[in-house]
Amino acid sequence: MLLYYLKKGLGRLLNKIVYPVLGIAMISLIAYAIVMGIISWRKETEALDECHRYTIGYATEVKRKTLYYRYSTEGGNFNGSWGQKPRSWKDYFKGNFVANKFLYKRFLIKYSCKDHKISQIDWSHSIPETVERAPYKGWENIPSHLPKNKF
């Protein structure tokens, strides 16, 4: 009989205290992850807006709808990625993504002067075959001889 009341009391304890606390903890953890992601994204965006240069990036692979690329500047080699969002659910399931068209191609990379690991693809201009490499420290501005992309 005592065991019955202990189980019943434990069930009430779980329902009234433990489960709500676990729920609040899970919601707090998810909110914390979202906030930290936004802060990280803003830091990267601000670093690129504050001081940036341009170099040439090389697409290395496409995996799970994400284009991975590499670039070199000031003697260092760096990697980055660009995840394309589908235009529609039909595109998502068919896998018709633009990223596949850029595999093993060259394109313009905008990177931070302070932290060269922070970068993003600049789709505004293409890199012709006549341009063999970027300067050691990259370009301060987009070179005028690079042709503009027409999307």
The three state secondary structure string of the chain is CHHHHHHHHHHHHHHHHHHHHHHHHHHHHHHHHHHHHHHHHHHHHHHHHHCEEEEEEEEEEEECCEEEEEEEECCEEEEEEEECCCCCHHHHHHCCCHHHHHCCCEEEEEEECCCCCCEEEEEEEECCCCCCCCCCCCECCCCCCCCECCC
User: How far are the Cα atoms of 5, 40, 47, 57 from residue 109, in angstroms, in the given order?
Assistant: 68, 20, 14, 6
50-105, pLDDT tens digit by residue?
899 999 999 888 877 788 899 999 889 999 988 766 555 555 555 545 666 777 78
Give the model's pLDDT for residue 8: 63
Q: Cα separation of 143 and 24, whole Å?
A: 53
116-151, pLDDT tens digit by residue?
899 988 888 888 888 888 999 999 999 888 888 765
Say whether both 58 and 122 belong to one domain.
Answer: yes
Say whether both 38 and 68 belong to one domain.
Answer: no
* Global confidence as pTM: 0.68
Give the model's pLDDT for residue 22: 81
Give the model's pLDDT for residue 96: 47
In a domain, 147, yes or no: no
Say whether both 95 and 35 belong to one domain.
Answer: no
Say whether both 46 and 57 belong to one domain.
Answer: no
Q: Which is nearest to 58 in space by CA: 34, 79, 76, 36?
A: 79
Q: Cα separation of 113 and 105, whole Å?
A: 24
Give the model's pLDDT for residue 90: 59
What CATH number corresponds to the domain at position 101? Answer: 2.40.50
105-115, pLDDT tens digit by residue?
888 999 999 88
Give the model's pLDDT for residue 147: 87
31-44, pLDDT tens digit by residue?
999 999 888 888 88
Give the model's pLDDT for residue 42: 86
Model confidence at 30: pLDDT above 90? yes
Say whether both 59 and 77 belong to one domain.
Answer: yes
Please identify which residue in the block is written with the tokens 């697409």: 59
Range of the domain at 44: 1-50
